[in-house]
Amino acid sequence: MSTHSNAYQLLSDVRYGINEHSTAFIQATDTTGAFQNEYLISKINEAQRYIYSFLFTRFKEFFLASSEITGVDSVFALPWDCGSIRYFKDENGYRVHQIDVDQLHVAAATGSGNLYYRKGNSLILDKSGVTDVYTLYYYKKPRDIDQGKASAGGALSITLATTAKKIVDYYNEMTIENITRDWVDVIDDYSVVRVATISETAAGDDYYGIVPELPEMFHEFIAPLAVYKVKLESPITQEAPKQGILGSINDAILSAAKAYSGTSQDITSEDLFCGWSTAISHPYSIPGH
């Protein structure tokens, strides 16, 4: 099996960290513990979002992606993992520029297919009737990871637990690890009824974990940060978080970021340490904002 972390393994690490670990708790065959898995997974997802916000301000290129999106009467739906737009171009490769709604064409004009405004999770052209395929370059946002017991499975498919997102394509291209059958695969497609299309064979009652999209060398910090947040927020933990632990996490992230950046000139240690320290000291803040 792969050595990188998945949600099942991270949940196990967090349960060790809060001194409430057992296979029965992890697999939810025993729900009498002080902490339910759904709550702990939410802390795990919060932790990976904090790490993402730290990395995004420094390594944006890692999160750059592109997608071909088709207009439906000039409306282009954004991918589910779109965090911010980098570049939008038409079928001929020309850039499509963003405008405000008060800059839309008047009724007597036809508008332009190279101007758009954003409305929620859609980009709308300043010209009606466009059905061409445009290309979007964007920065991915971190998608939540999930773990649990499959409700069904077979050749080329696995139905995720009810805790998984009920959003079409949400887990597309994410890595999934089957704990029971000891395989690793990439999700090719995902449906609204939580069925993931894979290359392997699965069965109902298989335990699985989805892998974070963060660079692998930063996976090891997710569980400690989640444990820190649980101890910080919950009145029923057996001990308060220690400042020394937080300092150790800071030092480890600093070392990993230096290695990931390639050279010591890519980013100063002061910027790395201070930016991350702010995020940990104020868990709901985003470094650089």
pLDDT number for residue 249: 77
Tell me what pLDDT residue 276 has.
39
Q: What is the pLDDT of residues 246-277, one digit of tens each?
A: 777 767 877 887 777 664 444 444 454 444 34
Q: How high is the mean pLDDT of the chain? A: 87
Please give the average per-residue pLDDT across 183-196, as a whole number: 98
pTM of the model: 0.81
Mean pLDDT of 195-212: 98
Is 1's pLDDT higher than 50? no
pLDDT band at 239 (very low <50, low <70, confident <90, very high): low
d(CA 16, CA 1): 21
Closest CA to 142 of 45, 44, 7: 45
| pLDDT at res. 233 | 85
Count other C-beta atoms under 10 Å from residue 47's C-beta.
Answer: 24
**Cα end-to-end span (Å), the chain:** 38
DSSP category for residue 103:
G
Q: Domain boundaries in the chain?
A: 7-60+143-281, 63-140
What is d(CA 148, CA 8) in angstroms, rounded to the nearest whole number? 7
> Does residue 287 have a pLDDT over 70?
no
User: CA torsion angle for 25, 206, 230, 49 (degrees, to 10)?
Assistant: 180
User: Is residue 133 classed exposed, middle or buried when 0-12, 13-18 and 19+ CB atoms within 10 A define those classes?
Assistant: exposed
Q: What are phi and psi of 244, to 5 degrees?
A: -60, -35
Structural tokens at position 202: 């699965």
State the pLDDT at residue 238. Answer: 60
Q: Which residues contact 219 (CB under 8 A, 6 or more apart)?
A: 4, 5, 10, 212
Higher pLDDT, 61 or 250: 61
Give the C-alpha separation, 80 to 121, whole Å. 8
- Position 185 scores a pLDDT of 98
The four Cα atoms 18, 23, 28, 33 give a dihedral, to 10 degrees, of -40
Is residue 134 within a helix (H) or strand (E), and if so which, with residue range?
A: strand 133-140
Distance CA 190, CA 43 (A): 24
Q: Please list, in sequence order, all residues whose beta carbon lies within 8 angstroms of the beta carbon of residue 227, skipping any fewer than 6 positions away.
A: 13, 14, 17, 18, 241
Summarised one tens digit per residue, pLDDT across range 97-131 is 999 999 999 888 899 999 999 999 999 999 999 99
Is residue 174 over pLDDT 60? yes
Longest dimension (CA), the chain: 69
As a whole-number percent, the residues of the chain with pLDDT over 70 amount to: 85
Task: Report CA dihedral (107, 109, 114, 120) to the nearest 10 degrees.
Answer: 0
**Cα–Cα distance, 134 to 77 (Å, whole number):** 11
- Average pLDDT for residues 176-181, to the nearest whole number? 98
Q: Examine the pLDDT at 211 and tell me if it is beyond 70.
A: yes
Helix/strand/coil for 281: helix
168 vs 243, residue with greater confidence: 168
Q: What is the DSSP letter of 235?
A: T
Q: What was the pLDDT predicted at 281?
A: 44
Report, as an integer, the average pLDDT of 232-257.
74
Taking the C-alpha atoms of residue 132 and residue 113, their distance in angstroms, rounded to an integer, is 10
Residue listed under structure tokens 């999770």: 121
The secondary structure of residue 211, as a DSSP letter, is P
pLDDT at 196: 98
Per-residue pLDDT, 283: 44
Could you read off the pLDDT of 65-101 as tens digits, one per residue? 999 999 999 999 999 889 999 999 999 999 999 999 9
